[in-house]
Amino acid sequence: MARLPIMIDTDPGIDDAMMLTLAFAHDDALDVRLVTTCSGNISQDKTNYNARTFLSYIGAQVEVARGLEQPMFRELEMAEEIHGESGFGNVEFPPPTLPVSERPAIAAMRETLLASEEKMTLVATGPLTNVAALLLAHPEVKPKIERISWMGGAAVGGNMSPSAEFNAYVDPHAVEIVFRSNVPVVMSGLDVTHKAFVTLEEAQGILAIGTEFAEKAYSLVTHYLDVIKRTPFHEENYDQVLHFHDVCAVMYLLKPELFEGQDCFVEASLEGITAGATVVDFTNRTGEKPNVHVLHSVDREAFVAEFVKAVKVISDRVEFR
C-alpha cells in the first residue's frame, strides 16, 4: 500500500516528541516530507532546536524549517511551566545533526505541496499560526491539501481557560482562518485527547523496553506528573494518568478505526474571556455547513498498545544504529 504523504507542523514539547515517535516509527505507512516548527509550548528558537535534536537522535532524515515567531494578533503565551524551560523537562538529547532549513516554513510548505504529485495531509500539533499564514498567503495550495489533522480545541471545557484549549488559545485568529479555509479539518480536541491517556502501570511497559530511548521517553512523559498538580484545570486522577494529546493527530491517520467523531460546524472565539474557545455546533442549530470532523471518543487500550509498539520500534533503531 502506498505511503501517505504528510507534513508536520509542531512545537516540541513533550507530547510533540511522542507524536514524532509515532510518526517516524510508521515510515512504512507515512511519508514525512517536511517538518516545520511553530511557536507555542516554548519559543521558536527552542521548538526548532528541539525538533532537530529529537529527530537527529532517532535517526530521521527530514527537512526541518523554522516557522513564525508570534501569533497573528496576540502576544505569544507559552507553557514552559508544563514542559520545562527547555521544552523536554529534564531530559537531554545530543546536539542536532539536522540543520535548520534554508527555507522558511511557509515557503517550504508551499513548495513541498506544489511539488507533490499527490494530495498531502498536514499534521499540526501546536498553534495554527504557520498553517493559517500558508493558506492566507498562498491559497493556490489548497487543492493540494487532502486534510489538516490538528491537535487542538475542545467542545467542552479547556486547559488554558474555562473554555479554551492551549493551542487554540495561543492563536485563535489562526484557528478561525483554518476553519474558514474550506480545507477539510480533523480536530483532535481535549474531548478525545483526555480519553487517550496512559496509566502509570501502562507507562511501566515503556520503561520495561529497557533501552536508552525508552528511558528517555518514560522520563519525558512522567515529567507531567510533577507539574500538572500546579495547574488549575487538572482533571480527576490527574496524578495517576498521562495524556499524550498530540499523538492523537497522527494516530488518527494510522488507525482511524480507533476513533469516533462527528462532522460539525465549528467557530473559534477571538476575544474576551472566551478567546480560543472552539464552539462546536453538534445539533446544527446554526444551519451552517460542517467544516470540521470533531473527534470525541477513542479505543484507549488499543491506542496505548499502538503507542508502546512505536516506542519499541524507535528504541530498536536508536539502539542498533
**Assigned C-alpha cell, 319:** 539502539
As a residue count, the chain comes to: 321
* Cα→Cα distances 80→41, 87, 241, 283, Å: 6, 6, 20, 37
Quick count: other Cβ atoms within 10 Å of Cβ 282?
Answer: 12
Dihedral, CA of residue 290, residue 274, residue 149 and residue 170, to nearest 10: 150
- Please enumerate in sequence order all residues whose Cβ is within 8 A of that of 123, keeping only pairs 6 or more positions apart, or say none: 6, 7, 8, 9, 10, 19, 23, 148, 149, 150, 249, 250, 253
Q: Along the 321 residues of the chain, how does pLDDT read in single tens digits? A: 689 999 999 999 899 999 999 999 999 999 999 999 999 888 999 999 999 999 999 999 999 999 999 999 999 887 766 767 777 988 999 999 999 999 999 999 999 999 999 999 999 999 999 999 999 999 999 999 999 999 999 999 898 899 999 999 999 999 999 999 999 999 999 999 999 999 989 999 999 999 999 999 999 988 767 666 655 545 555 567 788 899 999 999 999 999 999 999 999 999 999 999 999 999 999 999 999 999 999 999 999 999 999 999 999 999 876
Decide: helix, strand or coil at residue 229: helix
For the entire predicted model, the pTM comes to 0.95
| Cβ–Cβ under 8 Å, residues 124 and 161 | no
- Which of 25, 27, 41 has the alpha carbon at shortest distance from 9? 41
Q: Which one of the listed residues 243, 245, 293, 296 is annotated catalytic?
A: 245
Known catalytic residue: 245? yes
Residue indicated by cell numbers 494578533: 73
Contacts of 184 (CB under 8 A, 6+ apart): 145, 146, 147, 148, 293
What is 4-320's CATH topology?
Inosine-uridine Nucleoside N-ribohydrolase; Chain A (3.90.245)
The pLDDT of residue 81: 65
Residue 209 is predicted with a pLDDT of 95
Strand order in the sheet with 185-188: 64-66, 30-37, 4-10, 120-124, 145-151, 185-188, 292-298, 259-268, 278-281
| Nearest alpha-carbon partner for 278 in 218, 189, 199, 184 | 189
Among 37, 304, 109, 107, CA closest to 196: 304
Please report the DSSP string for 47-63 in residue order. Answer: HHHHHHHHHHHTT----
Q: Are 132 and 106 in contact (CB under 8 A)?
A: no
Per the DSSP assignment, residues forming a β-bridge with 7 are: 34, 122
The DSSP code for 149 is: E
pLDDT at 238: 57
Grid cell 506528573 is found at: 225
Q: What is the pLDDT of residue 229?
A: 60
